[in-house]
Structure 1
Amino acid sequence: MQAKTQFHGVIPPVPTILHKDGRIDEKGMENLIDFLIESKVDGLFFLGSGGEFGQMSVELRKDVAQFVTRYINGRVPVLIGTGTTGTKETISLSLHAKKVGADGIVVINPYYYKLTEDSLFQHFAEIAENVDLPIILYNYPELTGQDLSPEFVLKLVRAYPHIVGIKDTVLSVGHTREMILKVKSEKTDFSVFSGYDDHFLNNLSLGGDGSIPLTASFVPELSVGIYQAFKQGNYGHAIDLHRQLAPVLLLYKLDSPFMNVAKEAIRLRGIEISTDVLAPVRSLSAEKKEQLKSFLNELLDKSIILS
């Protein structure tokens, strides 16, 4: 029997809802948080790639972390992304996340310089030695330029038991398979999450623990349904939902980065939010908004999105 992990299931990366001037749209954030919790997600992840952390000041990141932890108030686990290009600043943001009541932090590796493996290990080691919150590693080599290999992760986990999981956002399903086989075979309560939505069912079938998919910010029913069906042994239904999720991933090609698409999709679901984004990201054009609206309407017509 698989050991129970501290974090598991569907944990959407939540877009940061902002006014045009860059302030938090507090009412919009509340509306989105409530929608996701009501959709039975297993936690919420703030200030990830879809949360626009890369365009934010340290002050805004702290404001977001404080606001969301206070509003959620223990209803679901809260994960805060604290990664930066510097070790000292990452530690500072991680300590702030602990201070405001986060349940864990998600730390991406530095994304400008390519470090030696020893330097990268020391980066995570210093964070782990200074922050006693549960830590989830965030592996996104397409954006950081540097992979966290299963062997490297196992070395970290052996040294720091409060490194409790990884979001493995990689193109190769084989990478996540090795992460499960090599790391979880030794540390059974280590959580392995798929970052790409279409790897979710494969992850679960190999013994992984869940998904942290941006599409779950606007169609959580599909990913939540896959997870619940799988855990109940209803594999046929899980496969059917997985097939229904597949065309949603075409939306990733509508614009880049994807958070503008996610925000507009959330609004089209009837959640009252501001869809403004931080420069250099731009709001969707009128033409792309119409394409997105037609796409979502078609999903509704086919009853893919459950009301």
Structure 2
Amino acid sequence: MSKLQETKQKLRGSIAPVVTPFKEDESLDLDTFKQLIDWQIASGSHAISVTGTSGEPSSLTLKERELVMETAIKAINGRVPFAPGTGSTNHQEALYLTKTAQEMGVDAAMVIVPYYNKPSQHALYKHYKTIADAVDIPIIVYNIPGRTGVNLEVKTLARLVEDCPNIIGVKESNKDFEHVNRVLLNCGRDFLLFSGIELLCYPMLTIGGSGSISATANVAPAQVAEMHNAWEEGNRERALELHYELMPLNDVLFKDTNPAPVKAALGMMGKIKPVLRMPMDLPNQALQDEIREVLKQYVELPDSVVSR
């Protein structure tokens, strides 16, 4: 079995997109970051990703992104697969970060569709092919049109899969369920399809998806991982039950822009200091109160939080 095939076999289930914790002065809090990774693995997450949307990559310098990846791979220490986000709106930065990730020994790199620039489909093809050709590691394309301003069309993705053997999967943060069905139809049933839309994590499994890269896994890693485990074990009833159990949490965590509600929730849980870098900020007080009430259904909050 080739390395690409091995990676396709093991990159499944709940890939937790871990947030980047900051100290009060907004510097990186790497000790807390390592604790988050340990907690994720102990909670059953099947793989780890960093510097995706939840990791605030656009608020990090290039050197900080390298440091976060380096810290993560050391903390993971081979216990689960590691697929960091290496994309950027800057092509050369994306190329550099993906090459750097390969040198670090990651299992795969997740490369987001460039944001703000709104490139054409032809330009997207050139961007991804150049990156894929420059490395040997597997690439997971990250399509999130709601934040990038452009949708990677199925025909473009299928062309890339045909021309680039190391493009093995896609994270679809795409609410168009017809689109994600056509991904597997056109890219092959063995192509890795990960849900980045929380309410579609379970439905994507039913059409042949491989798992999810869900921001909610930051807050409820055990429940998100269990849903995938139940599905793999053939316990469809339990998987569906967890899908609906998680829905109130999924809803409240996306009432403001990710990862603001997630970081607020983790702060309430005592896992991090709830700090974001501008232009991001924490949710308003009303939403924080709502997050706190919903959280009580899933985790035991510290007394200081519950009593507020």
TM-score between the two structures when normalised by the length of structure 1: 0.90
Aligned to 1:211: 212
From the superposition, tell whether residues 278 and 163 of structure 1 become closer, same or farther in structure 2 (CA, over 3 Å): same
1:248 aligns with 2:249: yes
8 Å contact kept, 2:252–2:290: no
In terms of mean alpha carbon deviation, does 153-162 or 173-182 score higher?
A: 173-182
Identity %: 31
Q: Which amino acid aligns with 2:214?
A: P
Aligned to 2:141, the other structure's residue is in SS state strand
1:91-144 Cα offsets, whole Å, 9 max, x none, are: 111111122222111101111222222221111111011121110000011111
Which segments of 5 or more consecutive residues in structure 2 lack a partner in the other structure? 1-5, 301-308
Q: Which amino acid aligns with 1:268?
A: M
Aligned to 2:281: 282
Aligned to 2:234: 233
Q: Which amino acid aligns with 1:297?
A: K
**Post-superposition shift, 1:248?**
1.1
**Partner Cα separation in structure 2 for residue 239 and residue 254 of structure 1:** 23
Aligned to 2:96, the other structure's residue is in SS state helix
1:29-82 Cα offsets, whole Å, 9 max, x none, are: 122111110111110110011100012111111111111111211111111111
8 Å contact kept, 2:253–2:291: no
Aligned to 1:70: 74
1:142 aligns with 2:146: yes
From the superposition, tell whether residues 140 and 27 of structure 1 become closer, same or farther in structure 2 (CA, over 3 Å): same
**Post-superposition shift, 1:90?**
0.8
Aligned to 1:59: 63
Aligned to 1:278, the other structure's residue is in SS state coil
8 Å contact kept, 2:144–2:173: yes
8 Å contact kept, 2:228–2:239: yes
In terms of mean alpha carbon deviation, does 203-212 or 289-298 score higher?
A: 289-298
From the superposition, tell whether residues 299 and 88 of structure 1 become closer, same or farther in structure 2 (CA, over 3 Å): closer
**Post-superposition shift, 1:174?**
1.4
8 Å contact kept, 2:48–2:80: yes
**Post-superposition shift, 1:283?**
2.7
**Post-superposition shift, 1:244?**
0.4
8 Å contact kept, 1:70–1:100: no
8 Å contact kept, 2:137–2:166: yes
Aligned to 2:83, the other structure's residue is in SS state strand
1:12 aligns with 2:10: no
**Post-superposition shift, 1:300?**
4.7
**Partner Cα separation in structure 2 for residue 149 and residue 116 of structure 1:** 10
Question: What are the equivalent positions in structure 2 for 1:1-307 lying under 5 Å apart?
Answer: 5-185=9-189, 188=190, 190-255=191-256, 257-271=257-271, 273-300=272-299
**Partner Cα separation in structure 2 for residue 280 and residue 86 of structure 1:** 19
Q: Which amino acid aligns with 2:265?
A: A
Q: Which amino acid aligns with 1:298?
A: Q
1:249-294 Cα offsets, whole Å, 9 max, x none, are: 2213442x221221222233343x2221111111344444332222
Aligned length: 294
* Higher RCO (C-alpha under 8 Å, 6+ residues apart): 1
8 Å contact kept, 1:275–1:283: yes
Q: Which amino acid aligns with 2:69?
A: A
8 Å contact kept, 2:216–2:253: no
